[in-house]
Structure 1
């Protein structure tokens, strides 16, 4: 509910739009039901109301929501660019190991370091079973699947600490499968890459 990055803001907006569409459909159909029960009696074309109002209106709203969702989903796909940072995230029971393309000799466990204000492509995989990588304030959730690499774009608007979790049931102990993301300003990111910061 408090997005801190572009992808999370898009997802939050999508959520509100879908909630608004679902509410409009619910209220409209509830109004039709109330009108059918308490409205004026007499000859009515019930099938005309059911088909014309009870089906057409919800289908139009659902089609608009689907189109909007597809456009938003396309916007969330990672795209190459000169400013993109690439990191690797490998899940296992019950930890995350992170590697950095810009500092191949650096690895961290359960703490992902990223630069603030720059897009970061996280290449997600797993050493054992299916896990899920999710930093709710920065982006959506993406599964870590054995034998596969999935890429998720995250970005933090400002420096800070953001909590992440493995949100896929994968055995006893999955509730504690958490990690942190530390977004650095430009100077501390350079120090991290040089090995001067934890």
Structure 2
């Protein structure tokens, strides 16, 4: 029952693309590091109830557990997690490439609209069309207040800020349908600002660019 929330269309630990996979791996690594530190804290908490020996052995125990492991071990784990997080963050940055598709996403209180420069600036509402197996850069902005573009199974979330464009790299491993949502409070009814990402195979993507429904 505890793991029931790890499945589903909005699960961040059920990735369906390379960016989401990197984020899910980072989450598991952070969880493992936090678990190690928590276990050590529990051991240090239990030590006062297990005191044995004279004052000399007590001082040695304090020096070994509290100063050695109580400080050195958490600092080493946190430093390793920080370094790993920076590496993952660098991998998630969008990079130019010949195979990268570009789409503009505009958020508003009325919903999300998407424009496709490669399809003569064709526009869709509430449905983002992408090619499967190819990286896609989403240029995110908003007409009114701050929103947040998020497709949990494909990538991390990124804010849509008025007057500014943020770029998010997403990619789907295979054709399919993925749920997206606005993850930033933007007023009453913001929970309904959802959208769908449809990943097409090569033939369907070509047909979409040609203007077919």
Q: Deviations over 1:11-67 (max 9, x none)?
A: 000000000000000001111221232242432223553222211111110000000
| Matched residue, 2:105 | 89
CA–CA distance in structure 2, aligned partners of residues 42 and 6 of structure 1: 57
Q: Does 1:139 align with 2:155?
A: yes
User: 1:88 touches 1:99 (CA, 8 Å); kept in 2?
Assistant: yes
Q: Does 1:11 align with 2:27?
A: no
| TM-score, structure 1 normalization | 0.96
Q: Does 1:71 align with 2:87?
A: yes
Q: Does 1:2 align with 2:14?
A: yes
**For 1:37, what is the secondary structure of its paired residue?**
helix
Q: Does 1:173 align with 2:189?
A: yes
Query: Which runs of 5 or more residues in structure 1 are unaligned?
Result: none
User: 1:93 touches 1:128 (CA, 8 Å); kept in 2?
Assistant: yes
Q: Deviations over 1:78-111 (max 9, x none)?
A: 0111100000000000300100121133100010
Match of 2:140 among 106, 113, 124: 124
**For 1:128, what is the secondary structure of its paired residue?**
coil
| Matched residue, 2:49 | 37
User: 1:132 touches 1:167 (CA, 8 Å); kept in 2?
Assistant: yes
What's the RMSD between the two structures over aligned residues? 1.1
| TM-score, structure 2 normalization | 0.89
Count, aligned residues? 197
User: 1:94 touches 1:173 (CA, 8 Å); kept in 2?
Assistant: no
The alpha carbon displacement at 1:196 in A equals 0.9
CA–CA distance in structure 2, aligned partners of residues 18 and 178 of structure 1: 29
Query: Which runs of 5 or more residues in structure 2 are unaligned?
Result: 1-12
Task: Decide which structure has greater helix share.
Answer: 2
